Amino acid sequence: MNDFHRFLTDLPKAELHLHLEGSLEPELMFKLAQRNHITLPFDSVEAIRAAYQFSNLQDFLDIYYQGANVLQTEQDFYDLTWAYLERCAAQNVKHVEPFFDPQTHTDRGISFDTVVNGISRALADGQTKLGISSYLIMCFLRHLPEAAAFDTLQQALPYKDKIIAVGLDSSEKGHPPHDFQGVFEAAIQQGFLTVAHAGEEGPPEYIKEALDLLQVKRIDHGVRCVEDPALVERLIQIQTPLTVCPLSNIKLCVFKDMRDHNILHLLDKGVKVTINSDDPAYFGGYMTENFIAVADALHMSKAQAIELAQNSFEASFLPPSEKKTWVAKLKAMH
Ligand code: ADE
Ligand code: ZN
């Protein structure tokens, strides 16, 4: 690790695009499979890692949903979340707003409260034991009908104090945001904030629909915005953040090579981009590894690194006073 890599590790950061199910490392997958008497279709941790070669989002999702089957009890969800928070602590990630996919679990008979209680208990311990603040976001699976999302929203109502926002994830192509306008409107009425995956594999039109119809506070991914210059201008003007996930984009072949990635181009143009890890157990790295991969391939400057970290707090759902404190700390690092 060189001096700049050390600097990137030590930089205080917020992570705004992380699927808890995507932080399930093969070692924990094996441990939970044993604990819950589940047989995995792999003989070893190495065999699992070797299977993580994807040519697109769907390739990955098929394996990711299979991996999530080992999560059964409240303690499993606690352990999953806690392992992620320990990684955050080691990389000076100070605030997190992770996603979870309730339908992946409720559809296999795991109750909503098992999932939320396990995750929430770990997040509370993350605050008290590791000093990491957090808000939780629940995502609707867009490959399932909107009616199923409505049902999930209903189940979430008793947990409003534990869930700040709703999101939209899973297979993007062929599942446009407008299919979910009704359930997002209902969620907003219930007091939830909104975010959505758009413009990862899907076209710029999906980003516009997420902004106009789902009233999102952030776009998850959004890198295909560059195909529509007027949309890029709009994003600069409205400063709606993009939660970009560089290693994910390479693993899922959104860009062929990190040298082709557009994140620093968007940053320099004035789009509020942030760096995130998406599904770190599957894509080869957490926050610091993502910063390092971008730094090495695209010659990120110290000023750009600080701006990206600043953006991560500014794009968060933290109250303005806390955002200000983090931004002041980061400005002092120039
Ligand atoms: N679920 C987990 N990771 C995802 C991604 N990168 N895109 C869409 N859905 C996801
Ligand atoms: Zn994602």
Which atom of ligand 1 is the closest one to the Cα of 101?
1
Asked, for residue 158, whether it belongs to a domain, the answer is: yes
| Residues contacting ligand 1 via CB (< 6 Å) | 19, 22, 57, 169-170, 197, 200, 248, 278-279
Q: What is the domain count for the chain? A: 1
Asked, for residue 327, whether it belongs to a domain, the answer is: no
User: Which of 62, 57, 144 has its CA nearest to residue 102?
Assistant: 144
Q: How far apart are CA 276 and CA 220, in angstroms?
A: 10
3-class state of residue 299 by DSSP: coil
Domain CATH number, residue 71: 3.20.20.140
Asked, for residue 209, whether it belongs to a domain, the answer is: yes
Pairing of strands 165-169, 193-198: parallel
The model scores a pTM over 0.95:
yes
Q: Going by CA atoms, what residue is nearest to atom 10 of ligand 1?
A: 170
Distance 331 CA to ligand 1 centre (A): 32
3-class state of residue 119 by DSSP: helix
In this predicted model, what pLDDT tens digit does every residue of 95-149 receive, in sequence order?
Answer: 999 999 999 999 999 999 999 999 999 999 999 999 999 999 999 999 999 999 9
Pairing of strands 242-244, 273-275: parallel
Asked, for residue 297, whether it belongs to a domain, the answer is: yes
By residue range, what is the domain housing residue 118?
3-317
Distance 171 CA to ligand 1 centre (A): 7
What mean pLDDT comes out for the span 20-35?
98
Distance 229 CA to ligand 1 centre (A): 25
Asked, for residue 292, whether it belongs to a domain, the answer is: yes
Asked, for residue 328, whether it belongs to a domain, the answer is: no
Q: What percent of the chain has pLDDT over 70?
A: 100
In this predicted model, what pLDDT tens digit does every residue of 120-133 receive, in sequence order?
Answer: 999 999 999 999 99
In this predicted model, what pLDDT tens digit does every residue of 212-237 receive, in sequence order?
Answer: 999 999 999 999 999 999 999 999 99
* CA separation, residue 273 to residues 16, 78, 215 (Å): 11, 30, 18
Which atom of ligand 1 is the closest one to the Cα of 248?
6
Which atom of ligand 1 is the closest one to the Cα of 245?
6
pLDDT score recorded for residue 115: 99
List, by residue number, the catalytic residues: 200
Asked, for residue 72, whether it belongs to a domain, the answer is: yes
Q: What angle do CA 222, 227, 232 make, to 5 degrees?
A: 60
Asked, for residue 329, whether it belongs to a domain, the answer is: no
Q: How far apart are CA 242 and CA 261, in angstroms?
A: 14
Name the one residue in this structure whose structure tokens are 């082709």. 260
What mean pLDDT comes out for the span 300-315?
98
> Among 197, 249, 252, 276, which residue has the most ligand 1 atoms within 8 Å of its CB, making it the best to mutate?
197
